[in-house]
Amino acid sequence: MLQSQLFAKTRKEIPADEVSKNAKLLIRGGFVDKLQAGVYTYLPLGLRVLKKIENIIREEMNAAGGEELLMPSLHPKENWEKTGRWDSMDDLYKVADSSGRENALGPTHEEVVVPLAKQFISSYKNLPAAVYQFQNKFRMELRAKSGILRGREFIMKDLYSFHKDGDDLKRYYDVMKTSYKTIFNRVGIGDKTYLTFASGGSFSKYSHEFQTLTPAGEDTVYVCDKCHLAINEEIISEQKTCPDCGSDNLRAEKAVEVGNIFELKTKYSKPFNLTYKDESGSERDVIMGCYGIGLGRLMGTVVEVLSDESGIIWPDSIAPFQTHLLLLADAEGKAKAEAQKLYEALTKLGVEVLYDDREDKSAGEKFADADLLGIPYRVVVSGKSLASGGIEVKRRNDTTAKMSTADEFLRLLSAKS
RNA sequence: CGGGGUGUAGUAUACCGGUAGUACACGCGCUUUGGGAGCGCGUAGACAGGGUUCAAUUCCCUGCACCCCGACCA
């Protein structure tokens, strides 16, 4: 991709009305644009990151036996009345058409997935089952805040699982726990993300959420460093020690809830009468679980955790490009020819490369943009680099660049892939 | 939804009851090219409505938007 052709541009100035680090950096870098409070456009660079996160989650959900589908956002009012949530859910967006017919804009999808499951689940032979989607959710947050961490419209992965009994739900719940750990490791925040005990569990005493430690977080959790577990402050008065090792040596930290897993049991299967016939022919309630990850929130959390004063430091796994090739043009045009050659070779190798071919930008601006965009490898081709024998390679989180040659760099990247 | 703050070019800002200034960005020309270049010229702006006043971007009221604190929540 040629940087001169990028639709969005970087900005030098910090938007005056943004306080959160993720919003400042993502807007300055041209990853996202704010349409209104809590409602963001993902620009081409930002969408590349979001899609990579989505693919990692997709791989792990598939590995856990999930089947991807896509449900609508526009939900008939009757479904929401059946669960009582048309009236009880304060943050439900309700829309009426010109004939007065009312719909909900889906904030979650139990009201759609359960009637759907009724069509396909009728026997113990159909269980267990797990379906998931990536989809826009709408929640009328009274106060959207913290950039893309809390929006009114956001993309979420939601998986719904169906089981014949509580034991099987519990089994799958643990499968999801493991999947989630893998996901947070793969997107680069595993060391900062803690399985956290929170209120509201049914067969285990507590429910679970995944919390990533960062000062940008809204929640407070109490961390046990030894077990890599945490306790949400909402239950700390009844659970003052680590549930695993019993230690009371816990420290308070701010954290972002990046994922959650819930035992729904029969809460939504009952209103829709989702049942199955067991081996003896008796009719039994289907037991459910649901498991969510907000993609934008996860992306914003990565920025909060992995960034410095100059910009973002994307992990290789979700960086918009693997290599940022910077041309600092020389008078003879040698650097331009070399950079062009390297760009073509990298592209041929299948490396995602953003080529800063802009000729009207100073070296300083290119370096500043490279730091801001946070692509893992920065490669500089200039008259100076060629005079010292080749190209300069620097990882985003290294402080100094190393001299290399185009061939060496190509070998390094092909070894990685 | 309670409390507080702020609304000036695309962005960041200055000043002001009487002609709205600067920087960046953008366009043209020339010179530049290793950490957000220089000179010249040019385009572009007071959230909306009402009130006070000879005169309002400025003061007052209402609305709207955005941000922060709280409550609520992925």
Per-residue model confidence (pLDDT) at position A18 = 87
Rounded Cα distance between A258 and A109, Å, is 19
Q: How confident is the model at residue A44 (pLDDT cuts 50, 70, 90)?
A: very high
Asked if A300 and A53 touch (Cβ cutoff 8 Å), the reply is no
Token pair belonging to A206? 């507590």
The chain-wide mean pLDDT, for chain A, equals: 94
Q: How confident is the model at residue A202 (pLDDT cuts 50, 70, 90)?
A: low
Q: How many helices (H) and strands (E) does chain A have?
A: 11, 23
Q: How confident is the model at residue A97 (pLDDT cuts 50, 70, 90)?
A: confident
Per-residue model confidence (pLDDT) at position A201 = 67
End-to-end C-alpha distance for chain A, whole angstroms: 19
Establish whether the CB of A297 is closer than 7 Å to any nucleic acid atom in strand B: yes
Token pair belonging to A25? 């950096």
Mean pLDDT value across residues A292-315: 96
Pairing of strands A229-232, A283-285: unpaired
Protein-to-nucleotide distance from the CA of A145 to the C1' of B52, whole angstroms: 38
DSSP state of A192: G
Cα distances (angstroms) measured from residue A206 to each of A60, A164, A194, A225: 24, 22, 15, 20
What are the backbone dihedrals phi and psi of residue A128, each rounded to the nearest 5 degrees, phi first? -80, 170
Token pair belonging to A177? 């726990």
Residues 203-222 of A with CB within 7 A of strand B: 209, 218-219
Q: Closest nucleotide to A385's CA, by C1' atom?
A: B34
Rounded Cα distance between A139 and A235, Å, is 25
DSSP state of A328: E
Region for residue A52 given its phi and psi (left: phi exceeds 0; alpha: psi -120 to 50; beta: otherwise) = alpha
Token pair belonging to A171? 């089994």
Which H or E run includes A89? none
Establish whether the CB of A392 is closer than 7 Å to any nucleic acid atom in strand B: yes
- Strand B, nucleotides < 7 Å from a protein CB: these are 1-2, 5, 11-13, 24-25, 32-37, 65-74
A166-187 pLDDT, tens digit each: 999 999 999 999 999 999 999 9
SS3 content of chain A, % helix, strand, coil (to 5): 35, 30, 35
